[in-house]
Amino acid sequence: MNLLHPARPTTLAALLAASLALSACSSPLLPADDPPPEDVILEPAPFQRLTAPQLRNTLLDLLGPVPRSELQPDENPYLFTTIGAATTPYSELGVGRVEVAITAAADAVFDDPARREALVGCVPTEPGDACVRGFLARFGRRAWRRPLTEPELQRWTWVATDLSAGDPWLGLESAVSGMLQSPHALYRVERGVPDPDDAERHLLTGYEVAARLSYLLWDTTPDEALLDAAEAGELDTADGIETHARRMLADPRARVAMRAFFDQYLDLGRLDHVAPDPEAHPGFTTTLRDAMRTEVHLIVDDVVFRQDADVRQIFATKQTFVNPELAAHYGLPEPDVSAVTFVPTALPADSNRAGILSLGAFLTMNAHPIETSPTLRGKFIMERVLCKLVPPPPGDINLDLTADEGEEPRTLRERLEQHRNDPDCVDCHKIIDPPGFLFEHFDAVGRWRDEDNGYPVDSSGELGGQPLTGTLDLASYLADEQEVGRCMARQLYRHAHGRVETNEDVVALNQIRESFYDSDYRFQELVVALVTHETFRAVAPPVVGGAE
Among 422, 455, 479, where does a domain finish?
A: 479
Q: Is 62 exposed, middle or buried (0-12, 13-18, 19+ CB in 10 A)?
A: buried
Specify if 300 maps to a domain. yes
Same domain, 265 and 165: no
CA distances from 409 to 422, 452, 453, 461, 512 (A): 21, 10, 7, 22, 51
Let me know: does 234 contact 240? Beta carbons within 8 Å: yes
List, for residues 70-84, the tens digit of each pLDDT value: 999 999 999 999 999
State the DSSP H helix or E strand holding residue 199, giving kind and residue range, or none if neither. Answer: strand 198-203
Largest CA distance in the chain: 89
List, for residues 358-410, the tens digit of each pLDDT value: 999 999 999 999 999 999 999 999 999 999 988 777 765 555 555 555 566 57
Where are the alpha helices (H) located in 182-269, listed in sequence order?
183-186, 206-217, 224-231, 238-249, 252-265
CA dist., res. 135 & res. 57, Å (int): 21
Same domain, 164 and 311: no
Specify if 380 maps to a domain. yes
Partnered with residue 451 across adjacent β-strands are: 456
Specify if 209 maps to a domain. no
Q: What is the pLDDT at residue 24?
A: 32
Same domain, 55 and 146: yes
Q: How many domains does the chain have?
A: 2
Same domain, 321 and 469: yes
Same domain, 183 and 271: no
Q: Among 523, 489, 498, which residue's Cα sits nearest to residue 48?
A: 498
**Residue 170 φ/ψ, nearest 5 degrees:** -65, -40
CA distances from 53 to 49, 74, 77, 437 (A): 11, 9, 17, 37
Same domain, 184 and 270: no
List, for residues 12-55, the tens digit of each pLDDT value: 232 223 332 322 333 334 444 467 788 999 999 999 999 999 99
Let me know: does 530 contact 488? Beta carbons within 8 Å: no
Please report, to the nearest 10 degrees, the dihedral formed by the alpha carbons of residues 322, 327, 331, 333 taken in order.
Answer: 100
CA angle 73, 301, 56 (to 5 degrees): 30
Same domain, 319 and 416: yes
Specify if 131 maps to a domain. yes
* DSSP characters over 449-466: -SEETTEE---EEEETTE
Same domain, 184 and 266: no
CA distances from 253 to 139, 330, 347, 460 (A): 22, 31, 29, 42
Q: Is 93 exposed, middle or buried (0-12, 13-18, 19+ CB in 10 A)?
A: exposed
Indicate the pLDDT class of residue 104, thresholds 50, 70 and 90. Answer: very high
Q: What is the pTM of this model?
A: 0.90
CB-side neighbour CA atoms (13 Å) of 400: 5
Among 436, 458, 479, where does a domain finish?
A: 479
List, for residues 475-523, the tens digit of each pLDDT value: 999 999 999 999 999 999 999 999 999 999 999 999 999 999 999 999 9
Residue 304 per-residue DSSP state: I
CA angle 295, 297, 298 (to 5 degrees): 65
Specify if 272 maps to a domain. yes
Same domain, 171 and 286: no
Q: Among 78, 104, 85, which residue's Cα sits nearest to residue 176?
A: 104
| Residue 82 structural domain | 12-22+48-188
Same domain, 360 and 447: yes
CA dist., res. 335 & res. 9, Å (int): 54
CA distances from 486 to 27, 264, 481, 510, 517 (A): 13, 17, 9, 9, 9
Same domain, 149 and 277: no
CA dist., res. 314 & res. 332, Å (int): 20
Let me know: does 191 contact 151? Beta carbons within 8 Å: no
Among 479, 500, 524, where does a domain finish?
A: 479
Specify if 279 maps to a domain. yes
Specify if 245 maps to a domain. no
List, for residues 114-167, the tens digit of each pLDDT value: 999 999 999 999 999 999 999 999 999 999 999 999 999 999 999 999 999 999
Residue 30 per-residue DSSP state: S
Same domain, 131 and 17: yes
Residue 302 per-residue DSSP state: I
Let me know: does 261 contact 297? Beta carbons within 8 Å: no
List, for residues 311-349, the tens digit of each pLDDT value: 999 999 999 999 999 999 999 999 999 999 999 999 999
Specify if 311 maps to a domain. yes
Q: What region, left, alpha or beta, does residue 499 occupy, with left being phi > 0 and alpha being psi -120 to 50 degrees?
A: beta
